[in-house]
Amino acid sequence: MSVLNPKISHVMIEGGMFKNEIEAKKIMAVPTVFLNGQSFASGRMTIEQLIDNAAGPASEDEFSDKDVFDVLVVGGGPAGNSAAIYAARKGINTGMIVEIYGGQVMDTVGIENMIGTPYTEGPKLMAQVEAHVNQYKVDIMKGQRAKSIRKNDLIEVELENGAVLKAKTAILSVGAHWRNVNVPGEEEFRTKGVTNCPHCDGPLFAGKDVAVIGGGNSGIEAAIDLAGLAKHVYVLEFLPELKADQVLQDRIHALKNVTVITNAATKAITGSDQVEAISYVDRATNAEHTIALEGVFVQIGLVPNTAWLKDSGVALNERGEIIIDSHGSTSLEGVFAAGDCTNSAYKQIIISMGAGATAALGAFDYLIRQ
């Protein structure tokens, strides 16, 4: 923003080089933005979110001249982008509502199972995906959140700002958010030592003791990444054994500064101004233990972003996932869905991309039969 506007002055502090400054300001998450000396924002934010914070969100009037979309995609992760590309390539009017471009992939440290790409990282992958989408005629509306969806003659999607977008079909690819461990101190110390993003915030914990809650692929990948920075990493897994792929388990057990604790039921995260300790109960012995540390990374899975679909006519299962068929169709005619918000058996980037393509093709097939 300061590059584009000479009236805005900006100082960037590299946390790894100016640790005294970071500690003095008690910064436990990056990026942290101070405006005129006061805390303004903490954690990753897009330029659209920063502008909204400063000037307020886009008004309802800014959407009043939108034509009826043939396909309106809700969500900007792998599934949504894949759906948008496939729809746009059919030459139909395609719109895309995006709250945070890239979704959960932006927090992914390393991706090693993308066929044809031995290694990449979440932000890099989504930058490439966005460049790909921009090659097509897609009306991308960033910084917007869907509030409700209903079916009349057309499908109507209402945004948080009150604007209503109309479409002949819609594809819901709203993804999921990190599941909370729901213990005392988790919310109190959010951005004060409790975080979900090892890639973003890991460097702030260099030379410190940290814990990773969760022994699945995400948790073990986070622990491996943090082991190269932290003094010691404790992995707390609720079950009797880790759930991560064996190749990841082999790597974690080979690291000398990592302790894996299974059968661990997290009880509380404690501290004063920031995290100072975590306590857990050994489910095998019922003994309670406390570990002194400064950071807690929660990696225990995802919750679908579907609360806004209640009473919409879009059927959800007991986990809140959108129920779809083999064509990506939902229970509401003309509405399709894809990705981590659905009852797909596995939540993987490559699977979400395929599901997005399926939903777009399903929507196109629906359109040509009307």
- Alpha helices by DSSP H, the chain: 19-24, 47-55, 78-88, 122-133, 198-201, 217-227, 246-253, 349-368
| Token couple for 240 | 């009797």
Please give the radius of gyration of the chain, using alpha carbons only, rounded to the nearest integer: 22
Residue 335, H or E segment = strand 335-337
Catalytic residue at 341? no
| Token couple for 358 | 């399926």
The SS3 of residue 280 is strand
The SS3 of residue 88 is helix
143 neighbors 98 (Cβ within 8 angstroms): yes
Q: Which residue in 65, 67, 70, 201 is the catalytic one? A: 201
Integer Cα distance of 6 and 48 in angstroms = 19
Q: Which residue in 70, 107, 197, 340 is the catalytic one? A: 197
Integer Cα distance of 254 and 302 in angstroms = 28
Sign (positive/negative) of CA torsion 213, 215, 217, 220? Answer: positive
Catalytic residue at 311? no
Q: Which residue in 200, 209, 225, 341 is the catalytic one? A: 200
Catalytic residue at 107? no
Omega of the bond leading into 31 within 30 degrees of 0 (cis):
yes
Integer Cα distance of 47 and 33 in angstroms = 12
Query: Annotated active-site positions, please?
Result: 197, 200-201
